[in-house]
């Protein structure tokens, strides 16, 4: 999530393209857009990988369009009910929606970045409780798993977790499993004789 | 990092139990023993029928060998727990319990259920208490912030259960929120 050079998460989150609108003609780099044109002409819209976009945006060759995973449609859906948005489908399997958002946020100017930060933070907090609830629920279940139609909404929520939330889910599940195991263990007699 | 992954996130409940075993409990010895020096201090002498305060680990050890009766701490009985449970369910904040009550209660209940009056009832009260408190820490979660989380009176076992994931969640929130201080300064 941080922009550290060595952070694997940051590299994975960078695996996205963003739409840029070119303001100037750039000669000899038409292949960037995947087309056959030799040059990029002024109002061209091209999806550019993030690592390349930084320098293009900084040199003011192009304007950034906020990518669809953070567009108004998703924002409204998040505002309505953060838990019903499937973040993973927005950024592809194993995608890091928050990481990607953080990167976009760093590119944007202050005012927009603050709005973006609000959207991300609210979404995260809105979904957090549900993540933990489900993680704890799954920690109490055996390997048998769950069945029944009542779990549909929960399952769709789980499938929609983004990479960061998955990590949290695993952490919460592991620790509550461990605590539960301790509460239920009865190896006292053995310990006592060993000491 | 040489530690296996499950040990990296947090202390294990077993380790917490070990730490809690250093606390003193009262016992009624059934054997005689001179004052003995241990690394953590000198305990004893044991002279039945005089009561004696020794560390929990030693009490557990003696109890397993049937050489003492453990006198449960004053909070480990039905009346006290009942009262705390009703307080727990009627007020929004955590009620005050000894910091390591979960570990101590489990250790004593495991080896010395015969020294506690109505051990089964105590067990079920502890379980209810734990569930009531769990619900509260879950509510506390909704108030999670990138810089702090305040859950007064939560106990070591509860903190330990929440720790790995609270840390991570707060880390994420720190990344997502933009320099909290400047914004707070700019807003009012």
CATH number of domain containing B151: 3.40.5.50
Strands B24-29 and B41-43: unpaired
* Residue ranges of chain A with per-residue pLDDT less than 50: 190, 192-195
CB proximity B60 to A under 8 Å:
yes
The answer to whether A117 and B178 are in contact (CB under 8 A) is: yes
By the 8 A CB rule, do B21 and B60 touch? yes
**HSE value, Cβ hemisphere, 13 Å, CA-based, for A185:** 16
Asked if A176's CB is within 8 angstroms of B164's CB, the reply is no
Instruction: Round to whole Å and give the CA distance between A86 and A91.
Output: 10
B53 token code pair: 């305060």
Question: What is the model's pLDDT at position A193?
Answer: 46
Q: From its phi and psi, is residue B66 left (phi > 0), alpha (psi between -120 and 50) or beta?
A: left
Show the tokens assigned to B101. 């009550």
CA B85/CA B63 separation, integer angstroms: 29
Q: Which pLDDT does position B86 carry in this prediction?
A: 92
Q: Is the residue at B186 inside a domain?
A: no
Answer whether residue B2 is part of any domain: no
Residue B87 lies in a domain: yes
**Tokens representing residue B66 in the block:** 């049937």
Question: Where do the structural domains in chain A lie, given as residue ranges?
Answer: 17-66
User: Please, what are the averages of pLDDT over each run of 10 residues along chain B (188 residues)?
Assistant: 76 90 92 89 87 92 91 91 91 87 91 89 92 86 74 87 86 80 45
pLDDT at A65: 85
**Stretch 67-126 of chain B: residues touching chain A, C-beta under 8 Å:** 102, 106-107, 110-111
Which residue out of A114, A125, A130, A139 would a mutagenesis test of the B interface target, given it has the greatest number of B Cβ atoms within 10 Å? A125
H/E stretch holding B146? none
Task: Output the pLDDT for position A188.
Answer: 54
Is residue B77 one of the residues assigned to a domain?
A: yes
Report the candidate in B94, B97, B105, B92 with the shortest Cα–Cα distance to residue B60.
B105
Q: What is the per-residue pLDDT for B81? A: 92
Chain B nearest C-alpha distance from A63 (Å): 22
Instruction: List the beta bridge partners of residue A19.
Output: A47
In a domain, B188, yes or no: no
- Bridging pattern class, strands B68-71 and B24-29: antiparallel
**Enclosing domain of residue B146:** 9-176
Q: Which one of A1, A132, A179 has the shortest CB-CB distance to B13?
A: A179
Residue B4 domain flag: no
Q: How far apart are CA A66 and CA A20, in angstroms?
A: 9
Could you report the predicted ipTM of this complex, rounded to two decimals?
0.82
Q: Give the rounded percent of residues in chain A with a pLDDT score beyond 90.
A: 0
Domain count for chain B, please give it: 1
B59 inside domain: yes
Phi, then psi, of A147 in degrees rounded to 5: -140, 170
Contact A190, B24 (CB under 8 A): no
Peptide bond into B148 cis (omega under 30): no
Cβ–Cβ contacts within 10 Å for residue B71, how many? 19
Contacts of B79 (CB under 8 A, 6+ apart): none
Mutate to test the interface with A, among B178, B180, B181 (most CBs of A within 10 A): B178
Phi, psi for A29 (deg, rounded to 5): -125, 25
Predicted confidence at residue A184, as pLDDT, reads: 86
- Residue B134: inside a domain: yes
């Amino acid at each position: 999530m941080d922009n550290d050079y060595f952070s694997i998460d940051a590299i994975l989150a960078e695996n996205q393209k963003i739409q840029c609108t070119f303001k100037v003609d750039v000669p000899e780099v038409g292949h960037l857009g995947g087309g056959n044109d030799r040059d990029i002409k002024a109002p061209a819209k091209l999806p550019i990988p993030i690592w390349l976009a930084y320098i293009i945006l900084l040199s003011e060759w192009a304007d950034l369009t906020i990518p669809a995973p953070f567009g108004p449609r998703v924002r409204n859906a998040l505002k309505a009910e953060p838990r019903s948005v499937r973040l993973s489908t927005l950024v592809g399997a194993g995608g890091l929606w928050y990481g990607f958002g953080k990167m976009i946020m760093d590119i944007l100017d202050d005012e927009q970045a603050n709005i973006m930060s609000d959207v991300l933070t609210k979404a995260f907090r809105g979904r957090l409780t549900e993540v933990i609830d489900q993680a704890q629920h799954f920690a109490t279940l055996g390997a048998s798993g769950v069945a029944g139609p009542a779990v549909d909404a929960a399952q769709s929520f789980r499938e929609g977790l983004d990479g960061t939330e998955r990590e949290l889910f695993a952490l919460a599940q592991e620790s509550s499993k461990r605590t539960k195991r301790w509460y239920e263990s009865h190896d006292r007699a053995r310990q006592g004789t060993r000491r | 990092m040489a530690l296996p992954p499950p040990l990296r996130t947090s202390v294990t409940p077993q380790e917490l139990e070990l730490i809690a075993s250093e606390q003193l409990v009262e016992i009624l010895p059934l054997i005689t023993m001179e004052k003995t020096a241990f690394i953590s201090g000198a305990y004893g002498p044991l002279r039945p029928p005089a009561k004696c305060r020794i560390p929990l680990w030693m009490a557990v050890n003696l109890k397993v060998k049937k050489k003492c009766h453990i006198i449960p701490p004053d909070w480990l009985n039905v009346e006290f727990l009942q009262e705390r449970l009703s307080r727990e369910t009627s007020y929004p904040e955590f009620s005050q319990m000894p910091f390591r009550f979960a570990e101590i209660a489990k250790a004593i209940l495991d080896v010395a259920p015969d020294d506690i009056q109505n051990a089964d009832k105590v067990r079920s009260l502890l379980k209810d208490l734990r569930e009531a408190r769990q619900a509260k820490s879950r509510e506390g979660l909704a108030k999670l912030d990138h810089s702090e989380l305040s859950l007064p009176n939560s106990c070591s076992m509860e903190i330990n259960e929440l720790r790995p994931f609270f840390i991570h969640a707060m880390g994420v929130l720190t990344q997502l929120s933009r320099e909290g201080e400047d914004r707070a300064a700019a807003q009012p």
